[in-house]
Amino acid sequence: MSHNFQAVWKPTIFREYIGVKPYPDNLNNFPENIINPKISEFHFILGFATEDYDQEGKGTGYFKRTWNYDYFSPDKVRELKKKYGNVKVIISIGGRHTDSSQYPFNPVEKELWSDQAIDSLKEVIADYDGEKDECGCNNVIDGIEINYEEIKCTDTDFAHYIGKVIKELKNQVPSIKVVSIAPSDLVRLHYRRLYQEYHDYINWVDYQFYDQKVSSKDEFVNLFRELSNEYQGKLLAGFSTDPNDAGKISREVFLEGCSELIHRKLLPGIFVWDANDSAVPRSNEKPFLLEEKAQNLLTGSD
């Protein structure tokens, strides 16, 4: 297979999921101590905006936020942005499966779903994007992410209806400058079609490397190169600190692989799932150790 993606001369971005799981006692605000000022862009990804489902499990397109609004309020976002000019805040749309919750893309009526999704997501964003204050932070929310792990339709339908939501939100909401998607191995074809048809609207791809078995550095690097060919240099490398993802890719394999990709000038950035777990470290480790190591790699500080 040929690899025709462009080289990345310098990594520019680090992203951290937050709000996506039950909260430990020491996570009731954005953990600003993990922000490396040398990173060009640091994104907190708020999760999730999830939709309501009918009695048959069909998605209605009516989205609501599920994170703790008091912990991650508009005022706290503005305060964070005043202190750190490299910070952006993204809303993740969809939801990650757990033993007790499932959030499939399974629209009850596809055309109606897209219209209702656009309207309800605009309301979620409007809760944050109030009047401009002294810091100029009228764009409290900077972007959206599509994060469906189960898709109950064809790749063509997924691309069409999700693509319509992406396009209209980016066109209608001035603050939405960043759009990302979060594919995994099981739904790779659906996201590939979405990217192919709407690549001009998609800035980053948060591929869930931690959702499949990756045993060695070489395997990780080769998978990254293969995916980069599909996503034209917009691919970010992802690692999970969630204990439920343990055993699929080790921290050592991930960091060694990222180091090699940086050396080859192929890695634009890294993302981590998730702050809720990173705040509760392994035995004898400090919180957010992986985040620190990853950003040091990206900035050449390690």
Q: Which residues does the annotation mark as catalytic?
A: 149
CA distance 114 to 281: 40
Residue among 31, 15, 28, 120 nearest 83 (CA): 31
CA distance 6 to 228: 9
Residue among 127, 181, 173, 126 nearest 155 (CA): 181
3-state helix, strand, coil in the chain (%, to 5): 40, 20, 40
User: Which amino acid is present at 156?
Assistant: T
CA distance 110 to 235: 29
Contact 24, 71 (CB under 8 A): no
CA distance 16 to 84: 15
Handedness of CA 259, 263, 267, 268 (dihedral sign): positive
CA distance 180 to 183: 10
- Take residue 166 and report the two structure tokens written for it: 């992406």
Q: How many H helices and E strands in the chain? A: 8, 9
CA distances from 167 to 11, 26, 69 (A): 27, 37, 27
